[in-house]
Amino acid sequence: MATTTFPIAKPKGGAFLLEQRQPHEVFTPEDFTDEHRAIGRATAEFFAKEVAPHLDTIQYEDKSVAVGIMRKSGELGLTGVIIPEKFGGMEMDLTSMMIVGENIAGDGSYAGWHAAHTGIGTLPILLFGTEEQKAKYLPKLASAEWVGAYCLSEPQAGSDALAIKTRAELSPDGKHYILNGQKMWITNGGYADLYTIFAKIDGEKFTAFIVERSFPGVQPGAEEKKMGIRGSSTTPIFLDNVKVPVENVLGEIGRGHIIAFNILNLGRLKLGPLAIGGCKDVIAIAAKYAKERKAFGKTISAFGMIQQKLAEMAIRTYIGESMSYRVVGMIESHLENFSWDAPDAAQTKLKAVEEYATESSYVKVFASEVLDFVVDEGVQIHGGYGFHQDYAVERAYRDSRINRIFEGTNEINRLLATGMLLKRAQRGALPLVQAVMKLQNELLSPPELNLGGPVGPFVAETKLVENAKKIGLMTLGIAFQKYMTTIDEQQELLASITDIMMNAFAMESGLLRAQKIAASGKNAQNATEMAAVFCREAMDSIEAAAKVALANCQEGDALRMSLAVLKRFAKYEPIDAIKLRRNIAARVLETGKYTV
């Protein structure tokens, strides 16, 4: 279902740093087709009627209720969105999958079930399975008749996934692999029927296996007692001489890491819409509470500091949403004539996703941190009641925290994001070095006199975005000059650089979206104000991060010179952010929800 046409000239991964994008070249939620919107509404309706009434049961009494609900959602197609029709799926685009994710994210526990099943539980087979494996397992997964799970982590191997100890040995007759070991933290673990399990053949060759729950020797352990998403199932999986037929090796022997990393890329991106769905829910809950709660003879929604919170929640949600769907659109731009019938269909899809691994890491980090911010302020708006189990925001607060940990911790993603950019540059896939050198030359020439440059809407923000990228490139260049190939070991520095680049990408995504709305003739005031506030706020954190990074790489005159350049790039004329936030909050309060 290639329902959207993307005018983007398929940007290279990471190229946002070097190129200037035009508003019409980015995909935004405003570009959703009628089908996309219908899918969103259908999913939201299902969630409201079938999931929401059972949240307490799922969380506190019987989590397995979620399995029945998920199967029912399978009747609507919600568990088979991108699976080909011939395997019982809906054969829709990635955007549709993201929209479904966003609309089941009103509860962290249920989202855990659904996202693990449809994501890490299903995608390895969809994208790496043979025709036989797909025909055998996908129809059961598409309908959620079978629940899927993904077993990579082990007690001693989380971020360091390649350190797994689970072993696989070929049986003497060559018909089976015998698996032994223990997996840890497996989402859906206690109720899954099908596991993708990573093990090392002969303790060496990292390989994925498709393992049915019914194979003798597969044993889920007890449910973990978690801080949040308590209604999701998380268990260890014990593997005791499990005989797995050789036909159930998934992908190539010794190349299981390809599966693991590719599935993570998509999972990271999808965490964007999931987190943003959660944000929207909490904003609505907090706005409602703020309008009801009275203090000092007023509703607390009348207080400036409460408005400031609601506005900031909306602004960051807007930015996270803009980034998420922008990246989804970049991927879709490579999949315009995609067909599952093509022999290399899965490869095409994977390559498109992998191209934007850096951007997907940005989405993962940014969106998970936005959600944490939003739930935190959501609790604060509720005062003491936010600390009480009877209020939905309390659960949202606990449920949010896991997002910074799984799908690669935010630390790992911060390292990867810049690390992958550097690798691309080394491979010659991204002219990063040239861009840095060009910038350095530019810096040597005297600064342009800024005598009444262009004015008008978006001009100041466009300049900010441009300068944010320059700060990123400059810092990266200086860091690389200092550390060269050992830069990998400078974690704090890499993370600072990631924060600068991520914020530049965030600013640009929000800005281009506002411009695109304005260009369409629709009312863009809200988006414009949100982008305007964010661009300046982000520039402040970019400047702070760059200062720390530069001071680590240079000293004396060199440092002073760099700091002077930084100051010039980071400079902007402040706007009345207090007033703009009040406007933004007024719209949240008026509509009772996040709107753009």
Residue in this structure with the two tokens 């996908």, named with its chain if needed: 138
- In sequence order, the 6+-apart residues with CB closer than 8 A to the CB of 364 are 268, 269, 271, 272, 407, 408, 410, 413
Within 10 A of 591 (CB to CB), how many other CB atoms are there? Answer: 12
- Output the DSSP codes for 296-315: TTEEGGGSHHHHHHHHHHHH
CB of 81 to other proteins, least distance (A): 7
Helix (H, G, I), strand (E, B) or coil at 417: helix
Nearer to ligand FAD by Cβ, of 109 and 462: the residue is 109
Which partner, ligand FAD, other proteins, none, binds residue 579 by CB below 5 to 8 Å per kind? none
Nearer to other proteins by Cβ, of 142 and 363: the residue is 142
- What does the CA dihedral 188, 189, 192, 197 come to, rounded to 10 degrees? 110
- Output the DSSP codes for 138-189: HHHHHTTSS-EEEE--BTTBSSSGGG---EEEE-TTSSEEEEEEEEEEEETT
d(CA 368, CA 271): 8
Q: 57 burial class (0-12, 13-18, 19+ CB within 10 angstroms)?
A: middle
Q: Which of 167, 171, 178, 126 is nearest to 150 (CA)?
A: 126
Question: What is the token pair recorded at 243?
Answer: 């005989």
Residues in the chain: 596
Q: 250 burial class (0-12, 13-18, 19+ CB within 10 angstroms)?
A: buried
Which partner, ligand FAD, other proteins, none, binds residue 77 by CB below 5 to 8 Å per kind? other proteins
CB of 520 to other proteins, least distance (A): 14
CB of 42 to other proteins, least distance (A): 4
- Cβ-closest residue to ligand FAD? 158
Question: What is the token pair recorded at 119?
Answer: 């994501």
Which partner, ligand FAD, other proteins, none, binds residue 158 by CB below 5 to 8 Å per kind? ligand FAD
Within 10 A of 178 (CB to CB), how many other CB atoms are there? Answer: 18
Which partner, ligand FAD, other proteins, none, binds residue 568 by CB below 5 to 8 Å per kind? none
Nearer to ligand FAD by Cβ, of 152 and 533: the residue is 152
Footprint of ligand FAD on this chain (CB under 6 A)?
116, 120, 150-153, 158-160, 185-187, 226, 234, 402, 405-406, 409, 411-412, 491
How many DSSP H helices and E strands does the chain contain? 19, 10
d(CA 93, CA 187): 25
Q: Which entry of 102, 369, 394, 407 is annotated as an active-site residue?
A: 407
Nearer to other proteins by Cβ, of 47 and 569: the residue is 47
d(CA 410, CA 423): 19
Strand partners, 298: 295
Footprint of other proteins on this chain (CB under 8 A)?
1, 34-35, 37-39, 41-42, 45-46, 75-78, 81, 90-92, 96, 523, 590-592, 595
Phi and psi, residue 294, nearest 5°: -110, 140
Nearer to ligand FAD by Cβ, of 324 and 410: the residue is 410
CB of 19 to ligand FAD, least distance (A): 31
CB of 328 to other proteins, least distance (A): 17
Which partner, other proteins, ligand FAD, none, binds residue 78 by CB below 5 to 8 Å per kind? other proteins
Nearer to ligand FAD by Cβ, of 5 and 491: the residue is 491
CB of 185 to ligand FAD, least distance (A): 3
Nearer to ligand FAD by Cβ, of 19 and 160: the residue is 160
Nearer to ligand FAD by Cβ, of 60 and 86: the residue is 60
Phi and psi, residue 196, nearest 5°: -95, 115
Asked if 511 contacts 535 with a C-beta cutoff of 8 angstroms, the reply is yes
CB of 592 to other proteins, least distance (A): 5
Nearer to ligand FAD by Cβ, of 159 and 241: the residue is 159
- In sequence order, the 6+-apart residues with CB closer than 8 A to the CB of 62 are none
- Output the DSSP codes for 36-68: HHHHHHHHHHHIIIIIGGGHHIIIII-TTHHHH
- In sequence order, the 6+-apart residues with CB closer than 8 A to the CB of 497 are 418, 472, 475, 476, 479, 545, 549
CB of 277 to ligand FAD, least distance (A): 18
d(CA 517, CA 84): 33
407 as an active site residue: the answer is: yes
CB of 382 to ligand FAD, least distance (A): 25
d(CA 545, CA 501): 10
CB of 231 to ligand FAD, least distance (A): 11
Within 10 A of 94 (CB to CB), how many other CB atoms are there? Answer: 21
Nearer to other proteins by Cβ, of 453 and 592: the residue is 592
Please identify every residue annotated as catalytic: 407
